[in-house]
Structures are given as C-alpha cells and as structure tokens.
Homo-oligomer: A and B are copies of this chain.
C-alpha cells in the first residue's frame, strides 16, 4: 500500500534518547529513499505513552561533547520529520509531553485517542527550561501565535479534548479506532499526486526549516550553555527524582 508504520517501543516511556533519535532518523531516511513508500504512520507500542519527550538522562551530568551530539540528533530528527516528503500521520495513543509533542506537531495530521487522561503539550517551562525556537515555530504553525504564547509560558499539558479544541490535534477517536482512522486519513492524503503535494508542503514549511538550518551550530551552542548551568542541572535532577518517586 506504500504506507509504513513506525511503532515507538522503548519502555517504559519512549524517551527520546540519543540512541532512539538516531534510529528514528535512520529509519525516516530509509523510508524517504524508498520510492515504494509514500506515507508513514507514527504511533507507540507502549501503553498510555506516545513519547515522554527528550531523555533527561542525556542532559544531566554529561560532557559538553555529549550534549552537542545529543542536540544535533534532536535537530536531525526534526529536520527529517518536519521536512519529510512522505505523508506523516501521528496516531497519538497516549500522553505526549515536550519532545513527544514535537514529534506529533511535525506530522501532517494528528489523531489522538479521546481519553482525557492522555495529555499533550510543550511543557518545558514547567521543568524550568525553555522550548527551542524551532519547537515554538512548529507549534505556532499549528495553533497560531496566541495559543502558543499562552501554552508555552504556562508549560501546559492539554488533556486530549482540550488539545483538540485548541487545534493541537486534528481529530479525536476512541482508542480502538485509532489505527483504522489513521489508515483512512492516510488513504485520503495519498489520493493526491505526490509531486504537487510535496512541493506544497515544502512551500508551507520551508521558512521554519530554513531558520534552524541557518542557525544550527548556534542553536547547539545555546543548548550546551543552557544545559551546563548549575541551576538547570539542579532543576533536571529534581525532576528526575520526582519521576523516580512517582514510578515507585
């Protein structure tokens, strides 16, 4: 059918570790280069979680070289996904904070399980950190400036119904209909000739993609400076402690 399925399977919470991101990018590249593949549905094999976002252990107590390598991998994943020539559909079958939300925002269409216990959002500010400008640009392109400004400042995690109301996801369906719906949406998007659709997509996303490409090294330096601060390291350690306690 020309449609690939990517199922995130990195328990317990599909954290976007360096290894995960690298594999994700390689798989996207392979599909992109496979002319038989026209679309990809992205979902999770882990119950209740789409992806918990960037792996905080990669940002804590590591070397400057490691931070640079990690951040470049985050950028690479986004450049490939947001700029993909394939039709990309996110079947969000669980919560999706921070980097997990970015993955969904970077697709062409977002369907979410209509479970109000699942939430999605760029909640970086809650952790005392700031979403990078290209996370913000991607968010603004989906929900507009005002909703993005408020949601980013509050670090909001929006329950599925609210996310739908804000336009953060395009559609809600019962969890057991999610894959069926994703396939139907994919079919609708693939009914269009690839070439015209791809050029149109590029026209819509190029300005935001180019902005990161033009400032990529600067963005890595900023990340390193930011994450190396003792205050930020402390925030992240506290957050990890909280997560560990919650788990046990």
- Complex: chain B residue closest to A147, CB-CB: B167
Q: Mark A145-162, 1 if CB is under 8 A from B, else 0.
A: 110111011110000000
For this complex, into which size category does the number of interface residues on chain A fall?
A: 35 or more
Does A181 lie at the interface of the complex (its beta carbon under 8 Å from any beta carbon of B)? no
**A233–B203 Cα gap in the complex (Å)?**
22
Cβ contact within 8 Å between B141 and A145 = yes
> CB within 8 A of A129: which of B126, B146, B170, B196?
B196
Does A219 lie at the interface of the complex (its beta carbon under 8 Å from any beta carbon of B)? no
Cβ contact within 8 Å between A146 and B143 = yes
Question: Which A residues from 184 to 235 make CB contacts under 8 A with B?
Answer: 188-189, 192-193, 195-197, 199-201, 203-205, 231, 235
Cβ contact within 8 Å between A204 and B145 = yes
Cβ contact within 8 Å between B141 and A203 = no
Known interface pairs A145-B141, A188-B154. Does A125 touch B200 (Cβ–Cβ under 8 Å)? yes
Scoring A109, A130, A153, A188 by chain B CB atoms within 10 A of each residue's CB, the highest score goes to A153
> CB within 8 A of A192: which of B108, B126, B192?
B126
Does A46 lie at the interface of the complex (its beta carbon under 8 Å from any beta carbon of B)? no
Question: Which A residues from 115 to 144 make CB contacts under 8 A with B?
Answer: 124-131, 133, 136, 140-144
User: Could you list 10 further interchain pairs (A-B, Cβ under 8 angstroms) beyond the known A128-B196, A142-B146?
Assistant: A124-B196, A125-B192, A125-B200, A127-B196, A128-B193, A140-B145, A148-B204, A152-B204, A153-B200, A153-B204
- List A residues at the B interface (Cβ < 8 Å): 108-109, 124-131, 133, 136, 140-146, 148-150, 152-155, 167, 170, 188-189, 192-193, 195-197, 199-201, 203-205, 231, 235
